[in-house]
Homo-oligomer: A and B are copies of this chain.
Amino acid sequence: MLHILFLFALVLAPASHAADFCVAKLKGAGGVAGYACRDPAKVTAADFVFKGIVTSGNTTNIINAAVTPVFVQQFPALNGLGLSTARLDLAPGGVIPLHTHPAANEILVVTSGVIKAGFITSSSNKVYIATVTKGQVMVFPQGLLHFQLNAGKTAASAVVTFNSPEPGLQILDFALFANDFPTELVSGTTFLDSAIVKKLKGVLGGTN
Interface residues of A (CB under 8 A from B): 1, 3-4, 6-8, 10-22, 25-26, 28-40, 44-46, 48-51, 53-55, 57-58, 60-63, 66-75, 77-85, 95, 97-98, 100-103, 105-107, 109, 111, 118, 120-130, 132-145, 147, 149, 159, 161-163, 166, 168-181, 185, 188-193, 196, 200, 203-205
Docked CA distance A161–B111 (Å)? 14
A141 touches which one: B31, B102, B172, B204 (CB < 8 A)? B102
Apart from A1-B205, A31-B34, A54-B136, what are 19 other A-B pairs with CB-CB below 8 Å?
A8-B178, A10-B66, A14-B71, A19-B71, A20-B144, A31-B33, A32-B35, A48-B128, A49-B136, A50-B136, A82-B82, A97-B189, A103-B143, A120-B175, A122-B168, A125-B170, A126-B179, A191-B203, A192-B200
